Every structure is written in structure tokens, then in C-alpha cells.
Chain A
Amino acid sequence: MMTVKNKHTRILIFLVCIILGYMITMQLRSHNQYQNLAIQRAEDLTVRLKEVQADRDKLAKELDEYRAGRISGAAQKEMDDLKARAGETEMEGKGIIFTLDDSKQAAKAGENKNLYIIHDEDLLRVVNELRAAGAEAISLNGQRLIGSSEIRCVGPTVLVNERRLAAPFVISAIGNPQTLDSSLKLRGGVIENFKFWGIRADVVQSDKVRVPAFKGNRTFEFAKPVSEEEKKEAGRPATVDEGTSENKPGADAEKSEGRQASQKNAGGAQ
């Protein structure tokens, strides 16, 4: 149907078609490649993450070995003791497992839905109660609670040891099971308060409660330990006291705020 006049034209058409065919395939291939790239990138990152995690674990182990190698005997024992106290070792013993879950009750009309959800404040009260009852080691959803552990709402989750946790919350505490149990079940205590809002709280006493070690990082950026000599040079303990008393008002204010809030809660419960 198409009459091609001379050889010259044929070659040119041939060339043009080669270019066209080439372009079409390249376009199609590239398009597929872009789609694969996104997936590949995610895969690459996952692999990389695993590698880095493995590296980190290996290095942490090495560090432990070196530390174990350098000190021995009494020093080792003391260090183990200090580590246990600081929450750096996994602990096991008698205690309770306390489970908390958000309320399944529907909020009544005009009522604040937030009242039916577990907040940082509720968890803090539980932890505080357990500490008061002599709990020796506490973990929240597998996060060991140490001196610097925060419990704070971030959106729908709770931040503990810089990790986000969500309901249900499982609090494991090692201590006298009876004491811990009754401290939570006090009349007007935490569990009674939760019950009112339909927040499900469940205490189980156990002979074998495991509390994992603290896994996060702790570094002192501002604080420096004061050596014995420096203390003597500073002489009067009054200066030290001044320093701490400066901090006190703020801390007191916080405490009283918390108390007020808890009183409010208790009021709501009655």
C-alpha cells in the first residue's frame, strides 16, 4: 500500500522506526523501573536497618566483655549490684502483673470521651502507688522504669523511655505480692477509680514476675559527679543546700498540681 520510491527513503524510514521502537521500549522499561525503585528502596533500608542493629548488638556485647575482663572480684560484684540497682539487669521474683485497658463503655452524651481512656496520669498514679508499696522493679509494657523514665502522653500513645506504648498496658512489678495487690485495691484507690470509668484493670499475683533490663541510653550532658575532695573544698553543706532548694518550689508546685488533679479524679468517682 505504501510505495517507497528510492533506496534513500527506505533507509531513512528504517532508521526512524528503529529510533521509535527503541524509545517505546525504553519508556516502558523505565516506567517499570521507577515503580520497582520505590519498593527496592524500602527493601534496601530494611536490610540496612537489620545490619546496623546486628552491628549494634555485637558492639554492645563486645563492650560488656571488655568491661567484664577489666574488673574482677569484689569490684565486679559491686558493679553487678550497682547495675541491678540502676535497672540494667533483668530481674525476677514474686510480684504482680497489672493489666489496664481502655474502657469499652460508650461515653454518655455531653461527657468527655477522654475520661474513658487511660492517660499518662493514670499510669503515673499506678506506678507511684506500687513504688509506695515497696515495688523493687517495675516495667511498663516491657520498658523498665528507672529514675529517669518518663511517662507522658504523646497523641494516642504513651511515651516511656522514649518509646511509644499503646493500650493495653501491662505493668509488672516485683515486690511483696500481697502488699502490692492491696495497695492498688485500696478503698478510693486507683482500681476503684478506674472501675467507675469502665477502664478494665486486672491484678494477677505471681511467683515469677520477670522485669526486663533498661535498654535505652543514658548519658550525662550537663551533670558532673562531685568528687570527695571537691566536696571538702566547697566546705559548708549550706551551699549545696541552696542549690537544691532553688529547685524545690518548682517540684513542689508540680506535686501539688498532681495532687489536685488526682483529687479531681477522686471527686468524679464519688
Chain B
Amino acid sequence: MIYAIIGLIFGIVGGVLTPGFIPKIYAPYFSVALMAGLDTAFGGLRAAMEGEYDNQVFISGFVVNILLAVFFCYAGIKMDIDFYLIVILVLGMRIFNNLAIIRRLYLKK
């Protein structure tokens, strides 16, 4: 857990120190990727609390989810359908779901 928090702090500091920003055309991809990343992180946390944590599943999930989300977003923009809304909706639901389970597991302890 301590590693995760230190990692987050490092990341935030790195983000603040980085000059420049994301061009506006890539903004939807980035937000979708962020959602996918958050979803995987919470999924990993939940798995860890359930005692089913698998490193390979976690890492592959992190990478593949982000790529898939970005791909969906890209396809949506190409086809002029707001796919990224669906991606954000689904990922948001999953995050809530995971958080609910984490909460329950935590309370049960």
C-alpha cells in the first residue's frame, strides 16, 4: 500500500513539473485512458483485498484496458459516434462497483 501512495505522489509531482500540456485533439483519448487506468487500479485493490491478486492479470489488465479504451475512443471519433461516452460510462460503473465491494470487504474486517 505504501508503494502505491509513494508512486502516486511521484506521479503527481512529475505531472506538475512537466512543461506543456496535452493538445486538445488528444483530450478525449487521454481522459478515457485515465478512466481505464483508474478502473484497473481499483480492480487490483479489490482483488488484493479478496486475496486473489495476480500480478500478471493486474499488469496486463492495466495495459490492455487503456489501449482498448483509447481504441474505442478513436473508433468512435472516426465513425462520428460518441463511443468515448460509453467507455467512460462503463468504466465509471465498474469503478463504483469495485469501490462498493472494497467498502464492504473493509467493513467486514
Contact = CB atoms under 8 A, between A and B. Distances in A.
Interface string A7-26: 01111111111111111111
Contacts of A66: none
Contacts of B15: 21-26, 29
B9 interface: yes
A30 interface: yes
A1 B107 CA distance: 12
A82 B91 CA distance: 77
Interface string B1-41: 10111111111101110100110100100110110011011
B86 interface: no
B49 A13 contact: no
Dominant SS among interface residues on chain B: helix
Given A12-B59, A16-B7, A23-B37, A30 B12 contact: no
B34 to A, nearest CB: 5
Contacts of B7: 13-18, 20-21
Contact of B21 (A10, A18, A23, A33): A33
Contacts of B109: 1
A8 B59 CA distance: 12
Chain A: number of interface residues, binned into ranges: 20 to 34
Given A12-B59, A29-B15, A17 B3 contact: yes
B68 to A, nearest CB: 16
Nearest to B109: A1
A17 B41 contact: yes
Contact of B4 (A13, A22, A25, A33): A13
Chain B: number of interface residues, binned into ranges: 35 or more
Contact of A20 (B18, B37, B49): B37
Interface in A24-73: 24-27, 29-30, 33-34
B75 interface: no
Contacts of B44: 13, 16
B4 A27 contact: no
Given A14-B7, A17-B4, A24 B12 contact: yes
A243 to B, nearest CB: 59
A21 B55 contact: no
A106 interface: no
B24 A22 contact: no
Contacts of A4: 3
A26 B55 contact: no
A2 B48 contact: yes
B57 to A, nearest CB: 12
A2 B5 CA distance: 13
Nearest to B51: A3
Contacts of A27: 22, 30-31, 34
A147 to B, nearest CB: 51
Interface of B: 1, 3-12, 14-16, 18, 21-22, 24, 27, 30-31, 33-34, 37-38, 40-41, 44-45, 48-49, 55, 58-59, 62, 106, 109
Interface of A: 1-4, 8-27, 29-30, 33-34
30 contacts: A2-B1, A2-B45, A2-B48, A2-B49, A3-B48, A9-B55, A12-B55, A12-B58, A12-B59, A13-B4, A13-B58, A16-B44, A16-B59, A17-B4, A17-B7, A17-B8, A18-B7, A18-B10, A20-B37, A20-B41, A21-B7, A21-B8, A22-B14, A22-B15, A25-B12, A26-B15, A26-B30, A29-B15, A30-B21, A30-B27
